[in-house]
Amino acid sequence: MRKIWTYLMITILIFTTFGALDIAYGAADELGSVAEPAKLVVGRGFKTPVFKAGGEVLLVVPVENIGGTAAENVSISLSLEDVKDAPFRMERTESKKKISSIDARKRENVIFFLDIPKTVEPKIYGMTVQVEAASGYSASEKIYIKIENDFKVPALRLAKLEVDGEKLLAGTAKKVSLTIENTGDLLAKDVEVRLGGFGSSGLTLVSPIDVANLKEIEGKRQEMASFKISAEEDLESGTIPLDLILTYKDEDNKSYTKESKIYFQVESKNSQSPDLTFENIAYPQSGVNPNEDFTISFKVKNNDEGEIKGIKVGVDAGTDILPKSASIKNISLLPMGKEEEVSFTLFAKEGIESKNYPIKIYIEYEQKSGKDKTTESISQYVGIFVNEESNTKLTPKIIIDNYTYGGEYTTAGVDFPLTLSFLNTNTHRRVRNIRVSISSEGEIFSPVGGSSSFFIDEIPPQERLQKTITLKPKADAAYKTHNVFADIEYEDDKGNKYSTKEFVGIPVIQQIGLMVGEIEWPQEIYVGNNTAISIDFYNVGRSLIRNLIVRTEGDFEAKGNSSYIGNLEAGKDNYYDVTIVPQKPGMLAGKIIFEYDDEIGNHHAAEKEFNLTVNEPELPPMPPEGEMDVAPLASGNSFKKYGIPIGGVLLAGIMGIVYYKKKRRKLEALSEDE
């Protein structure tokens, strides 16, 4: 019993000793860990985020403690080298965060709330992340964020100028209304509309205040400013320009100024001009893009008491906006009370400044006659806003600028390669992820050996790329030019999606199809005989055969060998016959030639050869001596008039001569005997 207790006590002592050693080693490990200080690392694994302007976003910054001791009272802050260049509103943004503790070898994601305004410039911004801990440890790291902005900054322009009675009259004051439009997406505030350039113009403001305050204009909205302008009494009829100055701010108090000219039509007090007026003037109110056609149209009305002759109507837009149609149009006579509508097509050159451009529309007319004849004119201006930026910088456009289809035309039922050249007209932005789908009106064309759609990765600015697709027109496609459409879907470099539709015209003709039959002629043909030859022919194609001529050539005489058939419609047939006269026996060669044109004027020729076996003339049997009767004539070869065979006539003549000589010799012998 005592031994058992002894062993038990020894066992307890051993376990107690080893436990104490474990505790001691554990304490030693903890003491070693405390000895390794906290170490903070910012942005490990951080990827540059992409944020959209115009709202609050979350910026997540990873902070990692790679040391062996917890970091206490950690402070994380964002700082910018240039606060003015901040991509977010500082007063609404949390730029500093605190964390009570980050354990050893642990990671915390620190979240900052950033308020990015709509007016921020799209680009990549850099900022510094600073971290500090209670232990005195500090570190910093630079990170980057990318901001994209689809909002267009406020842009003000004059949309419409209205004058009571359409003109300013010398010696009177009239109300002038200016409609100001914000073509941008964002708010324009603190808007001031100012008129200037009065000087010696002969125009003055009735009110000494030359500024109208509009407070604000929302994006894509219009507001009106009014002034009262007086014209001096001695002013002559004509056009007087003034300055329009627009100043405003955006939502972030950035200031803008736009200056342009506006034009007022003034009529003199003693004007005796005929009463011609512009009526229903129509022009683009929302602006145009470079290289985009637009139309200005209006009516010229004669309000005078008589007819007006020799009227010329024109437009003058300067050097930046050019006419596509004739810039002057004539009206020889305009009766009293009548009106005539005219229109002009113009376009703005690419690369010009984005602003409002004045376009002068004018009427010239004749007064009096003879030596006293003079030419007078009246004019008016309209303002066309050219948004160069939206076209060349913001909105990329794809067009088909060239195409080929292997020749001057294609043939129904025959494959052809269609090569299309796609041009990115934008001077600044690439287009990508381009999908093109080919179709045609009435499904005239179908793809061969592939799909009717294809994909293009990207086209850089002002670059072009060619694609070729094989198409086949329907076998029964009508002879005309058929349209092939290209539906184009694409994206810009910001991922904005666009679509457009281009078309090209491809002429299709039908294959010409003349089939000729077998030549027919008599079984027996003799030298000198008239021999009839004939042949049938057919239009087995789907197009018209034009100007068909058939003729015969060969080693024989031919009577009326050329025949003009004219046009042979599809599915129709006709025949040709000719009379030939062989001049020698044996094997004679000949051919029938067909010459004709197709629907597009191409000339074609076809030949049908033949060989004839021509016999010697047949001689009739000799008649018995003393008989003058001629043996019955063989049927077949005969004279036209009497039906007597030529060979029989010749033979009869020979027999007659022989008979005559024999008769004469017999008579001579009888006379000698006597």
Highest mean pLDDT among 134-138, 177-181, 251-255, 270-274 belongs to 177-181
pLDDT at residue 400, as a whole number: 87
pLDDT at residue 31, as a whole number: 44
- Per-residue pLDDT tens for 103-113? 888 888 888 88
pLDDT at residue 269, as a whole number: 65
661 pLDDT exceeds 50? no
Beta bridge partner(s), residue 78:
129
Q: Which residues of 474-489 are buried (b: 16+ CB within 10 A; e: fewer)?
A: beebebeebebebebe
Mean pLDDT within 151-176 = 86
237 pLDDT exceeds 50? yes
Q: How far apart are CA 142 and CA 617, in angstroms?
A: 118
Q: Is pTM, for the whole model, over 0.75?
A: no
**Reported confidence tier of residue 542, pLDDT bands at 50, 70, 90:** confident
Q: Which two tokens stand for residue 371?
A: 């030596």
Q: What is the mean pLDDT of the chain?
A: 80
Q: How far apart are CA 256 and CA 34, in angstroms?
A: 61
Quick one: DSSP state of residue 153? Answer: P
pLDDT at residue 394, as a whole number: 58
- Per-residue pLDDT tens for 317-346? 888 888 877 778 888 778 888 888 999 988
pLDDT at residue 516, as a whole number: 92
User: In percent, how much of the chain has pLDDT > 90?
Assistant: 20
**Reported confidence tier of residue 238, pLDDT bands at 50, 70, 90:** confident
Q: Are 552 and 591 in contact (CB under 8 A)?
A: yes
Pick 25 or 458 by higher pLDDT. 458
426 pLDDT exceeds 70? yes
Handedness of CA 285, 289, 294, 300 (dihedral sign): positive
**Reported confidence tier of residue 32, pLDDT bands at 50, 70, 90:** very low
Collapsing DSSP to helix, strand or coil, 32 comes out as helix
Pick 363 or 25 by higher pLDDT. 363
**Reported confidence tier of residue 622, pLDDT bands at 50, 70, 90:** low
Highest mean pLDDT among 210-214, 325-329, 542-546, 573-577 belongs to 573-577
Q: How far apart are CA 541 and CA 550, in angstroms?
A: 19
**Of the listed ranges 146-155, 326-335, 418-427, 561-570, the one predicted with least confidence:** 326-335
- Per-residue pLDDT tens for 81-100? 666 667 777 666 667 888 98
Q: Which residues have C-beta within 8 Å of that of residue 429, sequence separation ≥ 6?
A: 393, 394, 396, 461, 492, 493
What stretches of 250-351 adopt beta strand conformation (E)? 255-267, 276-282, 294-302, 308-316, 321-323, 328-334, 339-348
- Per-residue pLDDT tens for 364-421? 887 655 555 667 788 888 888 887 654 445 578 888 888 898 887 888 899 999 999 9
Q: Which residue has the tokens 């500082």?
A: 90
**Of the listed ranges 329-333, 368-372, 459-463, 476-480, the one predicted with least confidence:** 368-372
**Reported confidence tier of residue 606, pLDDT bands at 50, 70, 90:** very high
Mean pLDDT within 451-457 = 91
170 pLDDT exceeds 90? no
Pick 176 or 94 by higher pLDDT. 176
Pick 366 or 146 by higher pLDDT. 146
Q: Are 486 and 441 in contact (CB under 8 A)?
A: no
50 pLDDT exceeds 50? yes
Nearest C-alpha neighbor of 229 from the set 209, 258, 259: 209
Nearest C-alpha neighbor of 163 from the set 296, 281, 258, 270: 281
